[in-house]
Amino acid sequence: MNYNEREFNRCLLNPMRKAQLHEDAKLQSIWSGAEDEEGLFIEKVAREKICRYIVCMYDPESPLLKESVFAQRKADAALIAGYDLEKDAKFLEEHVYSCSNEYVLTVLVNYQRLSNNRLMASINADEQTYWEFVKRLMEPITKSEKDKDMMSALDIKTKLSEAKEVINKRLTENWKKLFAGDEDAVKEVVKRNVFRPEHQAGIV
């Protein structure tokens, strides 16, 4: 690993700056709504490390994105964030690298909303359309007196299903792009439905 502070200047936040990131006004929306039920990230210094790691790994302007080996990119990001790769190995593997901790995932998604507004807007629009299509497809076709009406309804459902799959493919590609190709992050996002409209509204 051989990076300098100047290389991160185009990121939304510079993870190598000594100033405390949590004092930046932009980060208030990142911490907002991120719960800490396990008591792992209450201290501000821990929040600092999580945020610095996320900037290194996922900011579209991070120089680490040129590293194609994810294990190395994650290790370098953790080092820049201030983790000790030996002492913090278990913690990093279980909660950070995999994005399996809900707090880490929430902060990551919130950060991407700040740094990738156009891509996020596209993802949000496609997610809403996708679930609207799913809802329509689950509605039963009522028995009609005219066969042509039923055939028309079936034809509409077929077209909706095909369009849904096109949207789903685009969503998968955009998730990978948003999370810099990190399939662990994408897996957790899909599993938790964090972009589903109901989830974002706090309903589920």
pLDDT tens-place values along the chain, 204 residues long: 689 999 999 988 888 887 666 566 666 667 665 555 555 555 666 778 888 899 999 888 899 988 888 889 999 999 999 999 999 999 999 889 988 887 888 888 888 877 766 777 787 778 778 888 888 888 877 665 555 676 777 778 888 888 888 888 888 888 888 888 888 888 887 776 665 544 443 433
Structure tokens at 189: 């996002």
SS3 letters across 12-51: CCCCCCCCCHHHCHHHHHHHCCCCCCCCCCCCHHHHHHHH
State which H helix or E strand residue 87 sits in: none
CA angle 99, 5, 19 (to 5 degrees): 75
Q: Does residue 124 contact residue 196 with C-beta atoms inside 8 Å? A: no
Q: Helix axis angle, 102-115 relative to 117-138, nearest 10°?
A: 120
The pTM of this model reads 0.67
CA distance 85 to 104: 18
Helix-, strand-, coil-residue percentages of the chain, each rounded to 5: 65, 0, 35
pLDDT tens digits, one per residue of 31-54: 665 555 555 555 666 778 888 899
Structure tokens at 168: 């789903």
Q: Does residue 138 contact residue 190 with C-beta atoms inside 8 Å? A: no
